[in-house]
A and B are shown apart, each in its own frame.
Chain A
Amino acid sequence: MDERLKKALDFSNYMVTLNNQKRVLEEKYNQELLYYHNGSQFTVTRELINFCYTLLSTGNTEVVLVDDNKLPVQVIDLEEFHSNVLDVYFTASNSYYNEFVELKQKRTVEKLVDANE
């Protein structure tokens, strides 16, 4: 095989694997963004964080939010809720960032998938 083509195909294979691993990391991140409050599931988004912050800024301490199953949930202590969702967001995002940086530094397919065999 032409050396130029071989190099291109090797790189293509590397890129496919890199993109697959990025997708897996993103999926894991989405799972880590889940927060449970009083039996209801919330996916922590920047919108949710900002909405809670706006409510707190305007003097609200209680609120009814709609959870991931489209059902209303009463949040009695909004400040605690806000603090918890922020914590979930930071923990998940930092973990995502660290793993992403680690992934980007791997230059071979074997290293990308941590194959020891």
Chain B
Amino acid sequence: MSKGVIVFARNNSNIDYVKQAFYLAKKVKQHLGLPTSIITDNVDYLKKTYNENVFDKIIEIDYDHKKNLRNFFDGALSSKSDNFKNSSRSSAYDLTPYDETLLLDSDFIISNDLFLNCFRSNHDLLLYKDSYDLSGTRNTKEFEFISDSGCEFYWATCVFFRKNETNKMFFNLIKHIQEEWHHYRRVYQIQSLLFRNDFAFSIAIHILNGFKKGNFAAQMPGKLTYITDQDILWNIDKEKMLFLVAKKDYIGEYHAISTKNLNVHVMNKFSLSRVIDKELVNEQ
């Protein structure tokens, strides 16, 4: 059974997801000892800019011209609107070259070997339901349910799956939800027009659980630790990370928090990019 990590990287005019994927692949190799394949529509840029040998396979997908605008924050006081190319994740099952796949967001920092437990699990589909906001002060309801009257929230940030008929059906259902997004958005009373993979995955799990809570998908190991894009990743020193998390009710003010040997989903892509630049320079 082949094992590996896949990561989607589709650049927009402000964010270099390929750079994030490059950094992630190095971290994956260091902590998990697994190969990483990149799925991207920026193959030429990747080959010109980064050492492609970091990746096991480079899988090219078509460039997507569709507009899907959202705001990307860089801390509490700065944001840019840009295209959010998140439409190909439902094809992960078809695109992965592995029998056992760990699908990760490119803005995920691996600092330990916790995810190796996924490959030891009896369950063929694992996602995070439980998460942990590093700030500890924010209302996390939006990460518990997809809407006030909707189903439980599952993160599409980290997904482990084995190739089998059930998981094929799962990913096909996500494709269908994506195609009929505005119908499902209304059924589940999601106010935002923006397509989000987290929502599509959550809805698919809800449907396959018989429209109720269930164990169609088991939990990934531990909880998903994250900072939002209102927070800032300040520094990475090996397995230590230093963050500035937004103070509650004091816009533009931050508290410092550090982590060691903890995997963290860094939603502030601009600060992640700055830190990766620093890391890559230090390596040279």
Interface residues of A (CB under 8 A from B): 13, 16-17, 20-21, 23-24, 27-28, 30-31, 34, 36, 38-41, 68-71, 109, 112-117
Contact = CB atoms under 8 A, between A and B. Distances in A.
A36 B120 contact: yes
Given A31-B262, A41-B218, A71-B215, 13 more contacts: A20-B255, A31-B223, A34-B114, A34-B117, A34-B222, A39-B121, A40-B121, A41-B117, A41-B219, A70-B215, A113-B256, A113-B258, A115-B242
A69 B215 CA distance: 7
Contact of B257 (A20, A40, A41): A20
Contacts, number: 78
9 A-B pairs closest in CB distance: A39-B122, A113-B258, A31-B222, A113-B256, A69-B218, A20-B257, A36-B120, A36-B117, A39-B121
5 contacts: A21-B258, A36-B117, A109-B256, A115-B242, A116-B235
Interface size class of B (residues with CB under 8 A): 20 to 34
B91 interface: no
Contact of B262 (A20, A27, A113): A27
Contact of B225 (A13, A20, A21, A27): A27
Interface string B218-243: 11011101000000001101001010
B261 A116 contact: no
A5 B5 CA distance: 52
Contact of A28 (B122, B240, B261): B261
Contacts of B234: 117
Contacts of A115: 235, 242, 256, 258
B123 interface: yes
A57 B223 CA distance: 34
A27 B132 contact: yes
A6 B268 CA distance: 32
Contact of A23 (B122, B136, B215, B242): B136
Nearest to A31: B222
Contacts of A112: 256, 258
B29 to A, nearest CB: 21
A16 B137 CA distance: 11
Interface string B54-79: 00000000000000000000000000
B140 interface: no
Nearest to A38: B122
Nearest to B120: A36
Given A31-B262, A41-B121, A113 B257 contact: yes
A39 B215 contact: no
A17 B262 CA distance: 18
Contacts of A109: 256
Contacts of A34: 114, 117, 221-222
B209 interface: no
A27 B114 CA distance: 13
Contacts of A68: 219
Nearest to A109: B256
B32 interface: no
Contacts of B112: 31
Contacts of B122: 38-40
B222 A30 contact: yes
B134 interface: yes
A24 B258 contact: yes
A115 B259 CA distance: 11
Contact of B223 (A23, A27, A39, A41): A27
